[in-house]
Amino acid sequence: MQAKDYYKILNVSESADGNSIKRAYRELAKKNHPDANPGNKAAETRFKEASEAYSVLSNVTKRREYDQMRRFGGFNPGGFRGNPGAGFGGFDFSNFRNAGTRRQAGGSFNGESVFGNLGGLGSLFSQIFDMGGQAKKRPRNRGENINLDLRIRFKKSIVGGHVSFSIEKEIICTTCQGGGAKPGSTIKSCHKCQGTGQVFVNQGGFGVSQPCSHCYGKGQIIDNPCDKCSGSGRIKGPRKYSVKIASGIEDGHQIKLKGEGQMGPEGKPPGDLIVTIKVTPHHFFRRMDLDVLCRVPLTLKQAVEGTKIRVKTVDGRKVDLKIPSGTQHGTRFKLNGLGVVKGANKGAQLVSVQVDLPIDPSNEEKELLKQYREAGSSAAA
Ligand SMILES: [Zn+2]
Ligand SMILES: [Zn+2]
C-alpha cells in the first residue's frame, strides 16, 4: 500500500488556500500532461497523482476528512511502516500512540482494532489511499475493449478489399431505446436521492457520498420495466462490421474501431473494438515484401530445351510463362504488377523454377545433364 501525501505531491503547505492549490495543480498538470509528454510514464504518473491530489484538496469536505485522517492515522509521508500482518501493509502507529489516545504505549496494535475504535475509518482510508489491488475495483470510466482475431485469406492480404464479420455484444435495447421502461410506462425520479443517484451517509463522523441503494445510482425508478431488457436498457445482440483491408496487410496488423467496444457504465463512453488480422498461410504463395513468391517444378528436359508453363497467379488467374532453354535451378521469373500495391509501388509475382535432377540418370539423362551444366557455366561466365 502506498500512502499519498497530497500536499507534498502538489508542493504546497498544509495551510495553503484554495487558490494556491489550484495554481500549483495547474502548473503541474500543464507540465506533466500526457499530450506534452508522449510516452513518458513518469510524467503520466505525476499527472495522475496531481489530479488525484487536486480532486481531494480542492474539495472542502474531502480536504477536511483528509486532514483529519492525517492527524488520526499517524501519517508518515513516503509510506507507512509497521505490522504487515495487519492487512494494511504496515502502518506506523507510533504517532497515533503519541497523539494522546487512551491506548497504552507498547500495547499491541493492529489495523483492525484501530479502525474499529475509530468507527469505520477503515473505509475512509481505503477511499483516500491507494490500497494496492483494490485500486482496480474503482469504477471504470469507459467500456471495455473487445479484442477480436479476424482471419483472412492470403489472397485478400495481397489484393486488399473489405471483410465483413459479425459479433455478439451488448447493445442499446431496441424496444425501450435504452430507457429501461416498458413503452407507455412512466419513469419517476428516485425519492430517496432526489434523482441525483447519490446519497450522503454518516460514516464515523464523516459525511461520505455513496450510490443510492434504492435506484442503484440511476436517480430514476421505473414502474414497468421493459420486457426485453428487464429494465437494464441493454441487450445482447449481433453487430455487423465491414473493415477495409489494405493491399499488403501484414499478419498481426491491428485495426481499431473507436467506440465499438463494450458499452460504458452509466453515462460513460464505450470501449474500442480492436481487430487483429490473421493471415492464413498459403500452400503455394509466400509473401516477400511487396512481392509474392511461388515455386514451380521443371523436369531436366524442360530446363535444358526450354518450354512454356502455366502459372497460377495470386489473383486467381493462370498465365503462360516462357522458360528459355538452359534455365537453371532457382532462376526467378517476374510477373509484373501481381504483387502488393503500396502507393505508387507495385510488387510482382516471382516464379522460382525448381529443376528436378535425376539421382540415377539414364544415358539420355546423362547427356541432358551435361548440356544443363554447360548452360549453367556459360550463364555464370
Ligand atoms: Zn428495453
Ligand atoms: Zn436513488
Q: Based on the domain organization, do 35 and 152 belong to the same domain?
A: no
Q: How many domains does the chain have?
A: 3
Cα–Cα distance measured from residue 96 to residue 101, given in angstroms and rounded to the nearest whole number? 7
- Ligand nearest the Cα of residue 217 is 2
Indicate whether 77 pLDDT > 60.
Answer: no
- Alpha-carbon distances, residue 323 vs 298, 314, 330, 350 (angstroms): 10, 20, 12, 13
How high is the pLDDT of residue 71?
66
Q: Is residue 220 part of a domain?
A: no
- The percentage of residues in the chain with a pLDDT greater than 90, rounded to a whole number, is 43
Q: Based on the domain organization, do 243 and 365 belong to the same domain?
A: no
CATH of the domain at 239: 2.60.260.20
Q: Is residue 132 part of a domain?
A: yes
Indicate whether 283 pLDDT > 90.
Answer: yes
Q: Is residue 202 part of a domain?
A: no
Q: Based on the domain organization, do 272 and 290 belong to the same domain?
A: no
Classify residue 323 by its DSSP letter.
E
Cα–Cα distance measured from residue 99 to residue 239, given in angstroms and rounded to the nearest whole number? 61
- The percentage of residues in the chain with a pLDDT greater than 70, rounded to a whole number, is 80
The mean pLDDT value of the chain amounts to: 81
Q: Where are the alpha helices (DSSP H) in 88-132?
A: 94-98, 111-117, 121-128
- Ligand nearest the Cα of residue 218 is 2
Indicate whether 5 pLDDT > 70.
Answer: yes
If pLDDT is split at 50, 70 and 90, which confidence band does 69 have? confident
Q: Based on the domain organization, do 14 and 75 belong to the same domain?
A: yes
Of 288, 279, 287, the closest CA to residue 253 belongs to: 279
The dihedrals phi and psi of 65, each to the nearest 5 degrees, come to -60, -45
CATH of the domain at 128: 1.10.287.110
- Write out the residue range of the structural domain in which residue 338 sits: 285-380
pLDDT in tens, 153-172: 999 999 999 999 999 999 99
Higher pLDDT, 202 or 365: 365
C-alpha cell belonging to residue 263: 458499452
Q: Is residue 205 part of a domain?
A: no
The C-alpha torsion from 17 through 23 and 27 to 28, rounded to 10°, is 30
Residue 252 CB coordination number (10 Å):
10
Q: Residues 214-242: what's their mean pLDDT?
A: 88
Cα–Cα distance measured from residue 381 to residue 372, given in angstroms and rounded to the nearest whole number? 14
How high is the pLDDT of residue 76?
43
Q: Based on the domain organization, do 243 and 329 belong to the same domain?
A: no
Q: How far is the CA of 187 from the centre of ligand 1 (A)?
A: 13
Q: Is residue 58 part of a domain?
A: yes
- Ligand nearest the Cα of residue 195 is 2
If pLDDT is split at 50, 70 and 90, which confidence band does 210 have? confident
- Ligand nearest the Cα of residue 189 is 2
Q: Based on the domain organization, do 359 and 322 belong to the same domain?
A: yes
Q: Based on the domain organization, do 149 and 254 belong to the same domain?
A: yes
Confidence (pTM): 0.54
Last residue of a domain, one of 281, 304, 339: 281
Last residue of a domain, one of 226, 258, 281: 281
Q: Is residue 310 part of a domain?
A: yes
Cα–Cα distance measured from residue 215 to residue 196, given in angstroms and rounded to the nearest whole number? 10
How high is the pLDDT of residue 72?
57
The answer to which of 52-61, 235-244, 296-305 has the lowest mean pLDDT is: 52-61
Q: Is residue 71 part of a domain?
A: yes
Q: Based on the domain organization, do 144 and 127 belong to the same domain?
A: no
Q: Based on the domain organization, do 59 and 18 belong to the same domain?
A: yes
Q: Based on the domain organization, do 166 and 290 belong to the same domain?
A: no
Q: Is residue 131 part of a domain?
A: yes
Q: Based on the domain organization, do 150 and 275 belong to the same domain?
A: yes
Q: How far is the CA of 315 from the centre of ligand 2 (A)?
A: 62
Q: Based on the domain organization, do 274 and 345 belong to the same domain?
A: no
Last residue of a domain, one of 219, 254, 281: 281
Under a CB-based contact definition with an 8 Å cutoff, are residues 295 and 352 in contact?
yes
Q: How far is the CA of 214 from the centre of ligand 1 (A)?
A: 20
If pLDDT is split at 50, 70 and 90, which confidence band does 113 have? very low
Q: How far is the CA of 179 from the centre of ligand 1 (A)?
A: 7
β partners of residue 201: 208
